[in-house]
Chain A
Amino acid sequence: MTRLPSFRAILIWAALAAALVPPIAVAVTSPLLAWREPVYIVAGFAGVVALALLLLQPLLAAGYLPGLRAGPGRRAHAWIGSGLAAAVGVHVGGLWLTSPPDVIDALLFRSPTPFSAWGVIAMWAVFATALLAALRRRLRLRLRVWRLIHTTLAMVVVLGTVIHALLIEGTMGTMSKAALCALVVVAVAKAIFDTRSLILPARGKA
């Protein structure tokens, strides 16, 4: 007999949709798109998608999403992590095609816009996180150590991404973008707090 999803589960998924749909809808209907070429539009949206995926990661890691807890949740976390790294790659690659000198300035930390530096820091942290996840077995790190590094990198990703996003005047609406960024920060903080016994070095008692 298959169980029907509980009211609580429906509520959680609806809340997640309510958090993600408005900022994406605002970006899709931005008047700025009319004056951008396709590669720039794709690059911009890859950034929006990456920010949206970033909200899912702590929720999956800590097992907050009904139907995606434990094993399935971890697999979804890994898949979305790959998607996140790919979205960042499309974002930076598309911007490079749109205006090479601006992206080179950003990558070399000599851009006049401070948000570029935060974006580049977040990018390297995303790539490092993905690499660490891909090499997890081969690295033979103790699980607790691996989790500590992974979580630390994740915090850099979130901090860099949120500052990067908030300082940009782009297709996302100011209010919906700020709300999404606040949710990402709260989700990460709660997930880390709730899973701290798995991350922090074991105390004497254990």
Chain B
Amino acid sequence: MNSAPQTRRTLLMAGTSAVGVALATGVSGLFAPARAQGLAPTPTMRGGANNYLPGAPVVERIGGGGFWMTGTVLRAGDGAPLQGVRIQIWAHTTEGHERDPESHGATLTDADGVFRMEMPQIVPTFGQPHGHLAYDADFDGKRFETVFLRPVMRGASETSLSAHFVLRPA
């Protein structure tokens, strides 16, 4: 193998690209879909599973709609989009409390691993306007590990919220 002496320039370049990759995977893993190698799985958020009612039906929308919950579901490692994955969504909205069964609904991801659920406007509860999302292994043949998310809206007047799953194969 060629072992060229390491100059300051190659060291800087290597360092810069390493930071770039770290930022790209780290930040995009949190906020946006990514297809990088070694994509880390999304951990369950604290309080994510609160008021979860397992087994809500797959619905076209929750209640009257007007608010959009969107996101993606990717496989950890290779970042492949996962199709047909059941994501359950619930929140305190203008139409009901988190614990009300009618506040819950599930949807399936498309071929790009994207899900979109229309639901009533989320309103602040317990100090923050937030939603809940679940990937529950028990309703997916235990293909991946269960993950609960609890994203917070930037403000109560927002009319959409997104959350992204990177699932670790079980």
Contact = CB atoms under 8 A, between A and B. Distances in A.
B50 A99 contact: yes
Contact of B46 (A34, A36, A98, A110): A110
Interface of B: 45-51, 92-94, 97-99, 123-129, 150, 156
B97 A37 contact: yes
A-side interface mostly: helix
Instruction: Count chain B CB atoms within 10 A of each CB in A37, A95, A101, A167 and give the residue with the most.
Output: A101
A43 to B, nearest CB: 10
A95 B97 contact: no
Nearest to A169: B124
B51 A99 contact: yes
Contacts of B46: 105, 110-112
Contacts of A112: 45-48, 150
Interface residues on A, range: 20 to 34
B127 A113 contact: yes
Contacts of B97: 37, 40, 98-99
Contacts of A10: none
A95 B126 contact: yes
A13 to B, nearest CB: 33
A170 B128 CA distance: 8
Given A35-B94, A105-B50, A111-B47, A167 B127 contact: yes
A85 to B, nearest CB: 22
